[in-house]
Structure 1
Amino acid sequence: MAIALGKPDVDGLHEAVGVLREWQYDGAPMQLHPGDLGWFWRSGAEATAAAVRTWRREGRILAVGLLDGPRLLRLTLAPDVQRDGELARQVVDDVTEPERGVLPEGKVNIETPRGALVQDLLGEDGWNADEPWTPLRRDLTDPVPDPGVRIEVIGPEQAHVCVAVHRSAFAGSRFTDGRWHAMAAGSPYADARCLVAYDDRGNAVAAVTVWSAGPGRPGLLEPMGVHREHRRRGYGEAITLAAAAALQELGSSSALVCTPSSHVGAVATYTSAGFRQRPEVRDQFRGA
C-alpha cells in the first residue's frame, strides 16, 4: 500500500500528539516525545502544525517528524514499524529530495531512533554521524528525594518568573511571556508542569518544564535551566529532583532527558539527581 507524506493542520496536531503518546514506553530508544511538540508550541499552534510531518499507510500514522528548525528533522516511528522496509525507503526518499517539502538543500540533520531501519539506509546513502548526545533516564518506581528548596508550580500569573529564569539560563533565548502562554495553550501542556525553584532569599534560581505522555509511560524534561547568577550551588540537581517528583505525581513510569555529551556539567547534574546515562545517540547529516 502507498505511504503518504502529509502536513497536518492545527486540528490534525492532536492526532500526532496522540500517537506520540502511544509510542512512548520504558525501554524504547530515545525518540521524539509529545513534550517536544509541546515545547515547540511556544511558537504557536499554526507554526507547530507547519513544522510537523506525518507518514501514513491506509490512514494510520506510522511516523511523525518535527522540523525543530528548518534544517533539523526529529523523526520517530511506531514501535512495530521500526524495521519496515517500505516505510524506511519512503522516508529516506522524502527527506533526501528537497522538492518534497521536508528538508532543504545544503547541510541538514535528521534524528531517528537507534535501531530504526531509516538510520541504516541513510548511512548507506552517505549520511554521516554528527556530534554525540547523552540520553539519561530515572526510574520513578521509588520515592524521589526532597529537593531541599522551595518549589512552585507556575501558572499563568507567574509566567514571567519562569521566562526570566529561562532567558538568563540560555544565551540568546527568545522566550517571552507570550510564548509561555502559547505553550500552555497547546494540548500537550494538559499533562505538563512548569516548575521554579527559589533560594532562601526568595530569588527564582532554576526552572524546568516536564511533560507527561500519560500514566505508565516515560515523561520528559524540556527544558531545564539555572539562572546564570545562581550556578554551582546545587540548584540544577534540586530542580531536576523536583521535575522527577512532578512526573511521578503525574503517573509517569520514568523521567527522560537528553543533552549534548559535550555539556559535561549538565550530564553530571542529571546523574547527581539519580538519572542514569544510556548509550549515546547521534543525528545524521548530509552536506558541508
Structure 2
Amino acid sequence: MQGLAQEVTALRPELLNGDATVGELAWVWAKDFDVLGRFWRHRLWFADGRLAAWGWVHLPHRIPRGDGAVIEVGTANLIWQTHPERAALLGDILDWYDEVARNVDRLLTVQSADVEAQRTVAAHGYAFDAEAGSDDGSWVQFNTRELTDVPDPVLPEGFRFVTANDVPPTDAVRAHRDAWHASRFTEAAFERVRRTWPYRTDLHVLVAARDGTLAATAIIWLDEATQTAEFEPVGTHRDFRRRGLGTALQLHGMQLAKAGGARRMLVACRGAPADPAARNMYYGVGFRPISRDLPQVKVAR
C-alpha cells in the first residue's frame, strides 16, 4: 500500500486520497492497530503482477476514549487508492465496499482534483456530504511546499529543539496527548509507530520548554525514493499555543527533511474556513493547497 502511495506521489500527488500517503498509512496503521484492527477490512487489486489499487474499510465500532468517554461510530468509512493509470478499479473497490459494509451508511472521500473519481462515486449512488463538507465541516485539504528555500526557525527564549532520541518514549507519548486532548495514544501504540517504516527517531522533532515540558511535537515521514517528506501529526501543548512554536518546529523539521534528501514537503490539515488556525500556520511557512477532500455519503437502503 505504501509502494502504491509512492507511485501516486511521484506521478499525481493531488490524487492521493485521505489517509493514503506513505506517512499517513504508517501513522494510522501503527497507532490504531491494537484498538481498531478488528474493525478493519482490506483488499488489494493487482494488474500485471503489480499492486494497482487497494481498499481499507473501517467498520462501525464502539471504543473507550482516553478521557473515559466512549466513541461510538455507526457508519462505515472507506480509505482507498488507485494507480492513476488504473482509475477504473475504483468501481471494483466500491462494489467490494458495498459487500463489506452491508446495511450501514457508507462514507468516503474523493479529491477535488480527481474528476474521474467524482463521476465514479456518483454513478455508484454517493452524494456530496453537505454537512461534513461545509464551511465548518471536518474536511481536510492537502498542501505541499518545495524545499528550495527554508528560513531559519526562531524559538522564543527558554525553548529548544529536541528529538525522540533525547526523551523517554513516555514523554513523547505525553507530548502527543498534551497536544491532542482526549487522544488514546499509548506507549504500546508508540512502540508500533517506532517499528513502522519510515519512522525515524531523529525526524520525530519536539520543542522543550525551560522546565522540561515538551511544548510541541511533530513526526516527519521521509521517503527517500520520491524525495518527499510529510508532517503527521503536528501539535502544540494547549498551554503553549500562540507563541510561534508550531511555526518554528515546522521550519526546523523542513530543514531536517531537506538535509535528509527531501525536495518537497507534504502536510494535510483541516480546511474549513470556520477553523483556519492550522491552515494559516501552514500558509505562513510557505505551504499551498493542491487538493481538498470532497466527503461523500451513501445512505443504506
TM norm structure 1: 0.80
**Matched residue type, 2:2:** V
Tell me which of 71, 75, 80 is aligned to 2:80.
75
Q: Aligned partners of 2:285, 2:90: CA distance in 1, in Å?
A: 37
Counterpart check, 1:137 vs 2:137: no
Counterpart check, 1:115 vs 2:114: yes
Tell me which of 146, 168, 171 is aligned to 1:158.
168
- Which secondary structure state, in structure 2, belongs to the residue aligned with residue 136 of structure 1? strand
Structure 1 residues 28 and 110: alpha-carbon distance in aligned structure 2, compared to 1, 3 A threshold:
same
Unmatched segments (≥5 aa) in structure 2: 61-75, 134-138
Tell me which of 42, 47, 51 is aligned to 2:31.
42
Q: What's the Cα RMSD here?
A: 2.8
Aligned to 1:245: 255
Cα distance, 1:162 vs structure 2: 2.0
Q: 1:127-276 alignment to 2 at 5 Å?
A: 127-130=126-129, 131=133, 132-148=139-155, 149-155=159-165, 158-189=168-199, 193-262=203-272, 263-276=275-288
Q: Aligned partners of 1:246, 1:207: CA distance in 2, in Å?
A: 14
Cα distance, 1:212 vs structure 2: 1.6
Q: 1:81-100 alignment to 2 at 5 Å?
A: 81-82=86-87, 85=88, 87-95=89-97, 97-98=98-99
Structure 1 residues 69 and 207: alpha-carbon distance in aligned structure 2, compared to 1, 3 A threshold:
farther
Structure 1 residues 63 and 48: alpha-carbon distance in aligned structure 2, compared to 1, 3 A threshold:
farther
**Matched residue type, 1:210:** I
Q: Which moved more, 1:110-119 or 1:30-39?
A: 110-119
Q: Aligned partners of 2:244, 2:38: CA distance in 1, in Å?
A: 34
Tell me which of 56, 63, 80 is aligned to 2:53.
63
Aligned partners of 1:144 and 1:244 also within 8 Å: no
Counterpart check, 1:286 vs 2:298: yes
Structure 1 residues 75 and 168: alpha-carbon distance in aligned structure 2, compared to 1, 3 A threshold:
same
Structure 1 residues 243 and 53: alpha-carbon distance in aligned structure 2, compared to 1, 3 A threshold:
farther
Structure 1 residues 157 and 201: alpha-carbon distance in aligned structure 2, compared to 1, 3 A threshold:
closer
- Which secondary structure state, in structure 2, belongs to the residue aligned with residue 106 of structure 1? coil
**Matched residue type, 1:142:** D
**Matched residue type, 1:272:** G
Q: Aligned partners of 2:102, 2:238: CA distance in 1, in Å?
A: 36
Aligned partners of 1:17 and 1:34 also within 8 Å: yes
Aligned to 1:106: 104
Q: Which moved more, 1:16-25 or 1:28-37?
A: 16-25
Q: Aligned partners of 1:91, 1:120: CA distance in 2, in Å?
A: 14
Matched residue count: 266
Cα distance, 1:27 vs structure 2: 5.3
TM norm structure 2: 0.77
- Which secondary structure state, in structure 2, belongs to the residue aligned with residue 188 of structure 1? coil
Cα distance, 1:190 vs structure 2: 5.3
